[in-house]
Structures are given as C-alpha cells and as structure tokens.
Amino acid sequence: GAGVSQSPSNKVTEKGKDVELRCDPISGHTALYWYRQRLGQGLEFLIYFQGNSAPDKSGLPSDRFSAERTGESVSTLTIQRTQQEDSAVYLCASSLGGLALYEQYFGPGTRLTVT
Amino acid sequence: RKEVEQDPGPFNVPEGATVAFNCTYSNSASQSFFWYRQDCRKEPKLLMSVYSSGNEDGRFTAQLNRASQYISLLIRDSKLSDSATYLCVVNESFQKLVFGTGTRLLVSP
C-alpha cells in the first residue's frame, strides 16, 4: 500500500516568508509525528497528533511554528516568518496507534532552504 | 545528560567484519527500544525492535541491558549495503519516542 507522503519534496524560500508543509499519513494510522533534522544532526521532535486528542506541541521551537491535523488524515506544518536556522529536512511519520511501541513509518521529508 | 546517547562514529570496517554499537539512555522507566537505519539523505526505517531477552534477525542481534541502561546492536559478516547511520530509539513516554543522533557505519570492500 501507499506509504507516508510529503509535499513539497524541496522548498526554497526567502527569509521572512511563510511556508506550509504537507503530510499524508498511511491510511488507518491514528498517530502522526513531525520531526526536524538539520544537516548532520539527529531527529528533533516537533509535534505529535493522536486521533482527536489535543496535540503534544512540546517540541515546537517557537511560536512561529504551528501544525494542524484534521481527524486522522492530512497534517500541515506551518512556519511563519522563516529564518535561516529553520533550514532543515522536515520529516513526518505515522504509526498505527499512539503507544510508543508501534513502529513509525517516515515520509521522504521536505527539504527546506531559507535564503 | 542527553536522553539517548550514541557514539557518532564513523565506524570504518571491511566487508565480512563484525561490528557492534552501543547506546545509552537516561530514562530508567523506558519500555520500548528500537534500532532504526537511515541511509544518506533518506528517511529512517525500522531495523528491529529490541526485546528484554535480546533478539536476532539474520546477521543482526540486538541486546538490552536494563541495569546499565544501554542497548546494543551487533552486525555480523558486514556487507557494503550495511553502510548507513544507525539510530538508537527509546520511548520517553507512552506516546513519544526519542531518537539518538546516530552512529555512522562505513563498510569498505
């Protein structure tokens, strides 16, 4: 079946502009995660959605970052007034359930470059 | 102290060698442990889960030591295709996983 998809695959934007990144999880997966990975660095947790529960936003680095998810479907991550330090690969993952014992399936990521 | 710590490497080994990576974690209440593999400029993919009794999958063996709070990954008979970054992953809570920064493995002919 289809895996996790993300769009766009690459995004180049000017400093100060807003960007919106999209994630389509695997159908039936109730949990969805966003991570950031800077060049040569590990994965940095951003936000987690589980079903209709309130999202865990504890990893969002600033109020310029926000994310939404409608039910158990598509999620969008929005970065307002982008800064150069926002340049990274943004990875989305989904899993069958909200428990940490479930495998997370990752999308190919969106490579964001802020000039 | 970082929640999950790994030696970044790189580990340079010849084909056919046996190589082992360790990872330490800080949360003694953690219950779920995994090794993920990430190829260059690709997304992470699950390699194997790590069970209390240890588990083996072909050339790969994972061990958990709760007393010392570390997990290990052993790769036997290394292949060129094993070259990748290996991420140690531990649950921080019931819902959240924490990823280590990874250990890079380079297998040469």
Instruction: Please provide the distance, in angstroms rounded to a whole number, between the alpha carbons at the two ends of chain A.
Output: 37
Using a CB-CB distance cutoff of 8 angstroms, which residues of chain A are in contact with residue B96? 45, 48, 56, 100
pLDDT band, residue B62 (cuts 50/70/90)? very high
pLDDT band, residue B96 (cuts 50/70/90)? confident
**N residues, chain B:** 109
Quote the CA–CA distance of B8 and B33 in Å, as a whole number.
19
The identity of residue B99, as a single letter, is F
Contact (CB<8Å) B102/A45:
no
Quote the CA–CA distance of B75 and A72 in Å, as a whole number.
38
The pLDDT of residue A69: 94
Quote the CA–CA distance of A3 and A104 in Å, as a whole number.
11
H/E stretch holding A44 reads: strand A43-50
The pLDDT of residue B51: 84
The tally of CA atoms less than 13 A away on the side-chain side of residue A49 is 24
Summarize pLDDT for A48-94 with one digit per residue, the tens: 998 888 899 999 999 999 999 988 889 999 999 999 999 999 999 99
Could you tell me what percent of chain A has a pLDDT over 90? Answer: 76
For the cut 70, the answer to whether the pLDDT of residue A28 exceeds it is yes
The identity of residue B33, as a single letter, is F
| B96 closest CB neighbour out of A56, A107, A108 | A56
Contact (CB<8Å) A100/B97:
yes
The tally of CA atoms less than 13 A away on the side-chain side of residue A79 is 27
pLDDT band, residue A42 (cuts 50/70/90)? confident
Please provide the average confidence, as pLDDT, over all residues in chain A.
92
For the cut 70, the answer to whether the pLDDT of residue A1 exceeds it is no
Q: Is A50 helix (H, G, I), strand (E, B) or coil?
A: strand
For the cut 90, the answer to whether the pLDDT of residue A102 exceeds it is no
The pLDDT of residue B78: 98
Tokens linked to B108: 């040469």
Under 8 Å CB pairs connecting chains A and B tally to 51
Could you tell me what percent of chain B has a pLDDT over 70? Answer: 98
For the cut 70, the answer to whether the pLDDT of residue B93 exceeds it is yes
Mean pLDDT of B70-82: 97
For the cut 90, the answer to whether the pLDDT of residue B74 exceeds it is yes
Lowest mean pLDDT among A41-50, B7-16, B71-80, B81-90: A41-50
